[in-house]
Structure 1
Amino acid sequence: MNLHASAEKNTQIEKSSQPLIEKVAIIGAGLGGLAVAVALRKLGYDVQIYEKARDFRPIGGGLGLFPNGLNFLDAIEPGIVETIKNLGCEIQTSVLKNTQGETIRTNPASRYGDKYGQPLITVWWWHLQQILASKLPSESIHLNHRCIGFEQDERNVFIYFEHGEKVCADLLIGADGINSAVRGALIGDGKPRYLKSMSWRTVIKCHQELLNPGELTFVKGNQEFMFLLNLGDDYISWVYRKFFPDCIVSQDAGEVKSQVLSQLADWGESLRSLVEATPAERIQEGIICDRLPLKSWSKGRVRELHKKNDPMTSRVSQKFQQTIF
């Protein structure tokens, strides 16, 4: 019996049985990146997340979680949906209003629970980020890490960061948004397209009578609209979007608020008062952009998280839920 040949064969078997992927690096600690990290850790992968922000700040707007998103989250982390429900708001009614605040139509939202077994839940983006992050070891989330590029070979991918740090992983997932550094290096398709629309959004603690408990309101104007969401615990989210042929970015917080109020000059007092009650520094101005869909979103050991690679422009909740499927 040739013991040397047998030992060599056993070594080859051991090598071939080793997993091709053990360590996964995710760029971006938004909702998509965190949700995928939770799912991959459940499958036994060593997942590390790298986020350019220095800390998790109370930012973002209101988010609507539909049954498909809730069912996914419940599958990867049993019990998390109850936590979300306790922090958020279960929507019972959707209301369509005109710009004077007059009700045009009211629809029950109970059909979601009746048909799909889960309701429509609204929650603050930041609260959901905190919930997802709490399901991961704190040492696996690396803040103040801005990705500037990567290189890969047949065995590894090397990720480079702004301050000279270098990380080696078996798989790199880009979850760093529409201006993704990973996408830029992987695909190189330039800047996003401006869609001739601007948006303004915020979340504030507010006691007011515009929204009943469990109510979602959509205000429709002429080439403009506003969403009003109850988020639970007296938090209110408003999102205003308007057609703007030219992209005009405000210089400071005061100008941002003045811009919104000037656009709402002909709106009803109840809607204007909500914006007036919002601290200027809490209003986030955004440029509405998208990207063209791609036939391929991966190359070697690197892939973009968003399946369609075409960020949805006004439905953040469905964008998140498409991301995690």
Structure 2
Amino acid sequence: MTSVAVIGGGIGGLTAAACLLQAGLDVHVYEQASRLSEVGAGVQVSPNASRILHRLGLAGPLAATGVKPLAWHQRRWDNGRTLLRAPLAEALEATYGYPHYQMHRADLLDALVGALPPERIHLGHRVVGLTDGGDDVDVRFAGGQRVRAGVVVGADGIHSAVRQALFGADQAHFTGCVAYRGVVPAERLGHLGLEVTAQIWLGPGRHFVHYFISARRLINFVAVIEQDEWTRESWTDRGDVGDALAAYAGWHPQVRQIIGAADETFRWALFDRPPLPRWSRGRVTLLGDAAHAMLPFMAQGAAQAIEDGATLSACLRQLPPVAALRRYEEVRLPRTSRLQEMSAGNKTRFHLPDGDAQAERDSQMAEGSRSWSFNALGWLYEHDAGETSLTAHGSRT
């Protein structure tokens, strides 16, 4: 039986471990933090990801805390005019067989932790070195701990130590955007009569997203603004509610009331990296943000990490380790690269200044509103990462 060491205990790493364990592999997760936690708040779990989580037995926990949005609702920044309203909820589930959830990241992480025996998760393990000996990989941790595994999976995020060990140090690219993020108790905003939708407000040089999470007890928001420079790549820098309000001066009252109801915000600089030409070397590979960090403008970062875990599991179940990692990379890299490109493109599309280009965008959105989810994104939502991995060789599906 192939032994697998997954480095990183986030959403991607835990999903991969649960899929690998379900496939009969001997898998252990090694996380550098002293406890498992998720920074940030909201996460979208679209049908391409929820089908994988349901197969792991997580339909119950997801239904208990996840929120099924009625629609994507894209709106104009100043007067709230609907630009596009695409159905989700029952319509999406009927088409693709699995639901779309809006969730607190911590709720999703807790569900994944519950899918693994506690003895499979090892905290306080920070990788300091890897040596691929051909037959297995020697993993060294700070403090002197060592393990040997037949396969090592770097699921250790955008600052991945495993990626650096494989391909050397690299520099993330600041995308010119900074996000203020926060959560607000839903009862504070009851007077707004908010729909259970994912609302995206588009405006010059910035956009604003809000939706319910945690069984509708909380409202998550992300306010993304363009900024010339930034020096840190962090989820946890404190923001100022007053600064966020000032950035949205003149915007619709609903946007400003949601921001103003927050007790605190955090600032998050948006960095990305161009698609890697390869993810794997020998018996070591990458997964999630370590392999394909992307802007959040397609709401697919976590979903693609979840897909990675399902495909990796299918490949290792059917092929020898080195061949399995090559196939995993061949199948996954084109799809995630496509989504990286699309996510970056949405930055421009979301932030158009008022004018001819904005008017043309709005017209196209209005024309495509009725069928947007099902035609434009069918290729994304219908994909089964666990079943098509070995037949999708070299494809862009």
Q: TM-score, normalised by structure 1?
A: 0.84
> Which residue does the alignment assign to 2:162?
182
Shift of 1:290: 1.4
Question: Where do 1:204-283 residues align within 5 Å?
Answer: 204-207=184-187, 208-209=189-190, 210=192, 212-231=194-213, 232-247=215-230, 255-280=239-264, 283=265
CA distance in 2, matches of 1:259, 1:226: 14
Closer/same/farther in 2, CA of residues 28 and 250 from structure 1, 3 Å limit: closer
Q: Which amino acid aligns with 2:16?
A: V
User: Is residue 2:107 matched to residue 1:107?
Assistant: no
Shift of 1:122: 0.7
Structure 2 gap ranges (5+): 308-397
User: In the alignment, is the contact (CA less than 8 A) between 1:59 and 1:125 conserved in 2?
Assistant: yes
> Which residue does the alignment assign to 2:104?
124
User: Is residue 2:85 matched to residue 1:91?
Assistant: no
Q: Which amino acid aligns with 2:212?
A: N
> Which residue does the alignment assign to 2:364?
none
Aligned-residue Cα RMSD (Å) equals 2.5
| Structure with greater strand percent | 1
Per-residue CA deviations over 1:281-318 (Å, capped at 9, x if unaligned) read xx232121111222221111111114993311114741
Structure 1 gap ranges (5+): 1-18
CA distance in 2, matches of 1:250, 1:45: 35
Closer/same/farther in 2, CA of residues 98 and 128 from structure 1, 3 Å limit: same
> Which residue does the alignment assign to 1:11?
none
Q: 1:146 aligns with which of 122, 126, 129?
A: 126
Per-residue CA deviations over 1:1-50 (Å, capped at 9, x if unaligned) read xxxxxxxxxxxxxxxxxx4x2x2111111111000100101122221111
Per-residue CA deviations over 1:162-194 (Å, capped at 9, x if unaligned) read 223222222110001111010011111512111
Q: Which amino acid aligns with 1:262?
A: A
Closer/same/farther in 2, CA of residues 276 and 253 from structure 1, 3 Å limit: farther
Q: 1:203 aligns with which of 161, 183, 187?
A: 183
Per-residue CA deviations over 1:188-246 (Å, capped at 9, x if unaligned) read 15121111111122233232144635321111111211110111241111011111121
Q: How many residues align?
A: 301
CA distance in 1, matches of 2:12, 2:299: 11
CA distance in 2, matches of 1:316, 1:95: 14
Larger mean Cα displacement after TM superposition, 85-94 or 210-219: 210-219
SS of equivalent to 2:107: helix
CA distance in 2, matches of 1:36, 1:270: 39
Question: Where do 1:245-324 residues align within 5 Å?
Answer: 245-247=228-230, 255-280=239-264, 283-306=265-288, 309-315=291-297, 317-324=299-306
Shift of 1:97: 2.4
CA distance in 2, matches of 1:254, 1:182: 29
Larger mean Cα displacement after TM superposition, 54-63 or 85-94: 54-63
Shift of 1:128: 0.2
SS of equivalent to 2:211: strand
| Structure with greater helix percent | 2
Q: Which amino acid aligns with 1:99?
A: W
Q: Which amino acid aligns with 2:43?
A: L
User: In the alignment, is the contact (CA less than 8 A) between 1:50 and 1:143 conserved in 2?
Assistant: yes
User: Is residue 2:146 matched to residue 1:166?
Assistant: yes
SS of equivalent to 2:148: strand
Closer/same/farther in 2, CA of residues 195 and 146 from structure 1, 3 Å limit: same
SS of equivalent to 2:112: helix
Larger mean Cα displacement after TM superposition, 217-226 or 198-207: 198-207
